[in-house]
Amino acid sequence: MKTPVMDALKKLVEEDSISFHFPGHKGRTTNIDWKKLMPMMDTTETRGMDNLLDPNGIIKESQDEAAKVFGAKKTFYVPNGSTGSNYIALSVVCQRGDKILVQRNCHKSIYNSMILNDLRPVYVYPNFNNLYESTTGVRPEDIKDALDKDPDIKAVCLTSPNYYGICSDIEAIAKIVHDREKILIVDEAHGPHIKFSERYPKSAIDSGADLVIHSTHKTLPSITQTSMLHICSDRIDINTVRDRFQLYTTTSPSYLFTVSNEMATAYMEVEGRNRLDDMYDYIVDLRKRLEAIDGVSVLQKDPDDETIFDLDISRILIGLRGYKGTELMDILYRDYNIRMEMNDYYSTLAMSTVMNTKEDFEKLYEAVKDIAKREKRKALEKLSIDMPRPTIAMSPAQAYFSKKKLVDLKDSIGKVVATSVIPYPPGVPLLATGELITKELYDYLMFLLENNINIVNLSEDKKQILVVED
Ligand SMILES: Cc1ncc(COP(=O)(O)O)c(C=O)c1O
């Protein structure tokens, strides 16, 4: 047979691009020499080894060590990414039918977890930052108001930092949540590293969250799919976590993932921690230098900006006047062999970790400077991203498991959407599974389509939408 994946991977290795994308190891070796140990290290529960699903030997010891490093009560290595951790987390704190307060721009794994666990969402909307045309974090006051308005809410689930490194005030929120005897889950998929330097935003673990989810593979030197679920308070029953872990985890967990979680943590405990601290001033300076280039903007935390509580400076969101994010990202790859993590309408994102060197950053700086010297362009027209707020017609699970059909967008008004329709930007579902399509939402969707905004989960030709059959 043909081997297109292998062929593409060989080409990728040959290209040897500079990586400002996931995974956090950046193709570089830390304290683990994969070349020497593969494939023998890919093993199972044989003599002398342990079982991730019921650990009582080396894996138990390793998870206990990791818990100490992260300052958690208990840490679980999860081999299905933060997606798997989010499935487990929501199922641990809620029973079927429970209400949960969820940040509207959470990751789709949270939406999926609400479907799998049959939960009733109440949404809290994030702030919107007009300068960067981007959603940011949530305000503690909004959490307080939502919980006071609906005392039946069982738990709160927030994302911090977000993809751009923007953090909410988790400490203040944890107090509000606990004063009302609820549970706080923080999807910190993008922030396992922030724990390791005081100069970075305070981690959710240290801010009083009860359950914290980490994508080890995103920001630590660890392989794709590795994640950790940290239990941080006595409000969480460990036996329920063990039980749900069995429900959502493969019965053949990978030792490569397990050891990668372990070694990434061991690396961060000493060497990684020092690197984070050492690179801090350099990255702050680099961000300033980038911003000083004519036409370039970099998302920054302005002390007067109340929409951004705190910012992880290792995420560098770069815009260039007149360039759409996708074009800038393409040019950086095509002409400079730099691979960025993602783009939105206006900008492209560099996702750096302790594995990036000063040389990588300098190449990025020189590339952006060079592109900015090309033809001068007029600024892109700003889009109004002030989205209407839909009404929930049925629970996500009810809509998801109903009979569904694709209908033309123009015929969808008055129907219940059976998927999440997500425009990028801002990456917040315009419609989440189970919500009602009104004329106002339809008009807004058309406006986004006319402006060539990428909308996920419509039909391929972007003319149809999945709805619940009447
Ligand atoms: C905020 C957030 N949570 C969870 C996930 C899922 O993480 P994973 O890819 O590790 O399953 C992502 C993925 O990008 C994410 O952005």
How far is the centre of ligand 1, averaged over its atoms, from the C-alpha of 82 (Å)? 5
Residue 454: the pLDDT is 83
Task: Please name the residues in contact with 265: beta carbons below 8 A apart, sequence gap of 6 or more.
Answer: 65, 66, 69, 70, 216, 220
Q: Which residue has the higher pLDDT, 34 or 62?
A: 62
How many C-beta atoms surround the C-beta of residue 442 within 10 A?
19
Cβ–ligand 1 contact at 81 (below 6 Å): yes
Task: Say how far apart CA 295 and CA 283 lie, in whole Å.
Answer: 20
What is the 3-state composition of the chain as percent helix, strand, coil, each rounded to the nearest 5?
40, 20, 45
How far is the centre of ligand 1, averaged over its atoms, from the C-alpha of 215 (Å)? 7
Q: Is the CB of residue 178 less than 8 Å from the CB of residue 207? A: no
Task: Say how far apart CA 311 and CA 296 lie, in whole Å.
Answer: 19
Cβ–ligand 1 contact at 107 (below 6 Å): yes
Question: In the predicted model, what is the mean pLDDT of the chain?
Answer: 95
Residue 436 has what DSSP assignment? B
Stretch (H or E) spanning 399: helix 396-400
Task: Say how far apart CA 84 and CA 91 lie, in whole Å.
Answer: 11
pLDDT, average across residues 20-24: 97
Q: Which two tokens stand for residue 441?
A: 């939402």
Four-point Cα dihedral 397, 403, 406, 411, nearest 10: -90
Residue 345: the pLDDT is 84
Q: What is the 3-state secondary structure (H, E, C) of 115-126?
A: HHCCCEEEEECC
Residue 37: the pLDDT is 82
How far is the centre of ligand 1, averaged over its atoms, from the C-alpha of 163 (Å)? 9
Residue 384: the pLDDT is 65
For 147, the 3-state DSSP assignment is: helix
Task: Say how far apart CA 136 and CA 156 lie, in whole Å.
Answer: 17
Cβ–ligand 1 contact at 82 (below 6 Å): yes
Tell me the backbone φ, ψ of residue 50, rounded to 5 degrees.
Answer: -140, 170
Cβ–ligand 1 contact at 23 (below 6 Å): no
Q: Which two tokens stand for residue 121?
A: 């969402």
Mutate to test the pocket of ligand 1, among 22, 77, 83 (most ligand atoms within 8 A of CB): 83
Cβ–ligand 1 contact at 226 (below 6 Å): no
pLDDT, average across residues 19-48: 90
Q: Supply the residue whose CA is at minimum distance from atom 9 of ligand 1.
A: 81
What is the tens place of the pLDDT at every residue in 285-327? 999 999 999 999 999 999 889 999 999 999 999 999 999 999 9
Residue 366: the pLDDT is 98
Nearest to 91 by CA among 250, 246, 253: 246
Residue 132: the pLDDT is 85
* pLDDT greater than 90 at residue 35: no
Mutate to test the pocket of ligand 1, among 87, 107, 227 (most ligand atoms within 8 A of CB): 107
What is the tens place of the pLDDT at every residue in 409-454? 999 999 999 999 988 766 678 999 999 999 999 999 998 898 878 8
**pTM, 2 dp:** 0.96
Minimum mean pLDDT among 104-108, 238-242, 258-262, 409-413: which range?
104-108
How many C-beta atoms surround the C-beta of residue 354 within 10 A?
27
How many C-beta atoms surround the C-beta of residue 410 within 10 A?
10
* Strands 153-159, 183-187: pairing kind: parallel
Q: Which two tokens stand for residue 155?
A: 């738990």
Q: Supply the residue whose CA is at minimum distance from atom 16 of ligand 1.
A: 107
What is the tens place of the pLDDT at every residue in 371-414? 999 988 999 988 766 678 999 999 999 999 999 999 999 999 99
Cβ–ligand 1 contact at 189 (below 6 Å): yes
What are the angstrom distances between the C-alpha of 163 and each of 80, 158, 281, 340, 348?
19, 13, 22, 13, 12
Cβ–ligand 1 contact at 112 (below 6 Å): no
Cβ–ligand 1 contact at 85 (below 6 Å): no
CA angle 332, 336, 341 (to 5 degrees): 40
